Structure 1
């Protein structure tokens, strides 16, 4: 119980620090949609499903 209370206090402080820095993690952020899955499937229909484009490899290396 004591450990849980101190852990909750640490989490509340981290949230307060984020908000003070202008980063509210609970704000809903929306981006303008500029692509649709059907369009992407059509555009890349000739790309074999098993072919590695390297995109995920580069992303996972970060």
Structure 2
């Protein structure tokens, strides 16, 4: 939701580079400053049981070895 708002020009977004790099690469978002800051906070991906569990796990496995 926040990414969509930033793409629509509504505001500024601060987020993890890994989650925004595709939008920056395709030009839908810009990085006005090239400086990044390392975070001590990890990103954790979880998948709930349900009809899309297998598909989601497969998609995540392309990003997480």
If the length of structure 2 is used for normalisation, what is the TM-score? 0.20
Select the structure of larger CA radius of gyration. 1
